[in-house]
């Protein structure tokens, strides 16, 4: 069964637009997490960014108390965030690249350029019982580096696929890259997740990628929730995943 992790960052984005710097505000991402789980989500994903633009420290600690499925903490490989993760003990962390000027995470992690540092973080996380995923582009060299540093998962960056969706030739080329990358990751013993830019329209095409364990989807679900409610938006996405054959 292909699992769905719901990224609730943009619930916090809406809250911060009005209540930035306050210790309260709405909508509450913790309440959103509970609603997503009740609707059948298999996990909750949040990105505690260094600039705290949406999810705040108080959110992750409250989420650790209430999440009953699996808490996935997206994070930069920075000393401050690493220490928070080791204390928080989510079930899994996903190490991502992070730039202050970007709107959202763009591009995959350059594992090749930082194998030593990433391997050390992976070791420390695993010692605390935390699984490690690396957010990488569908590039064979990066996937092989992810295996060398000992991560349990890779999360394939699907942004290029999503951005080219309206151009069939480019879309199919990106889809083939994802298929090749997933096969290589699986052959190396890595578990394969995917995410970035996935929505209700492009998801059915992505389901031709083999060996997927979980998709992490946020913006599209939160956007859909504006019109149908959060629980319904989650259930609609889950219904699309039912046709996955692996």
Name the β-bridge partners of 46.
73
211 is catalytic: no
CB-CB contact of 77 with 95 (8 Å): yes
47 is catalytic: yes
Q: How would you classify residue 21: left for phi > 0, otherwise alpha for psi between -120 and 50, otherwise beta?
A: left
CB-CB contact of 72 with 216 (8 Å): yes
196 is catalytic: yes
Give φ, ψ of 78 to 5 degrees: -115, 150
Q: Give every CB contact of residue 166 below 8 A, 6+ residues apart in sequence.
A: none
- Identify the active-site residue in 10, 42, 47, 54: 47
- Identify the active-site residue in 74, 98, 174, 214: 74
b/e burial code for range 36-63 (CB count within 10 A of at least 16 → b): bbebebbbbbbbbbeeebbbbeebbebb
Percentages (nearest 5) of helix, strand, coil residues in the chain: 50, 15, 35
- Identify the active-site residue in 10, 42, 54, 196: 196
| Residues labelled as active-site residues | 47, 74, 196
């Amino acid at each position: 069964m292909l699992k769905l992790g719901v990224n609730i960052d943009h619930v916090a984005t809406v809250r911060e637009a009005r209540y930035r710097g306050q210790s309260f505000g709405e909508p509450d991402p913790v309440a959103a997490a509970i609603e997503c789980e009740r609707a059948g989500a298999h996990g909750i994903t949040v990105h505690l960014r260094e600039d705290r633009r949406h999810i705040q420290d108080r959110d992750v600690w409250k989420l650790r108390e209430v999440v009953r499925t699996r808490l996935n903490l997206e994070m930069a490989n920075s000393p401050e965030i690493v220490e928070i993760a080791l204390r928080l003990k989510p079930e899994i962390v996903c190490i991502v690249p992070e730039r202050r000027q970007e709107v959202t995470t763009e591009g995959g992690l350059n594992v090749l350029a930082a194998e030593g540092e990433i391997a050390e973080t992976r070791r420390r996380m695993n010692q605390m019982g935390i699984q490690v995923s690396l957010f990488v582009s569908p590039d064979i060299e990066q996937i092989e580096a992810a295996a060398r540093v000992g991560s349990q998962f890779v999360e394939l960056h699907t942004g290029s696929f999503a951005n080219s969706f309206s151009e069939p030739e480019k879309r199919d080329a990106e889809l083939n890259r994802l298929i090749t990358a997933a096969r290589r990751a699986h052959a190396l013993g890595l578990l394969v997740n995917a995410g970035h830019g996935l929505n209700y329209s492009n998801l059915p095409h992505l389901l031709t990628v083999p060996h997927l364990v979980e998709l992490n989807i946020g913006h599209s679900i939160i956007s859909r929730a504006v019109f149908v409610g959060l629980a319904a938006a989650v259930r609609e996405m889950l219904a699309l995943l039912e046709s996955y054959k692996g």
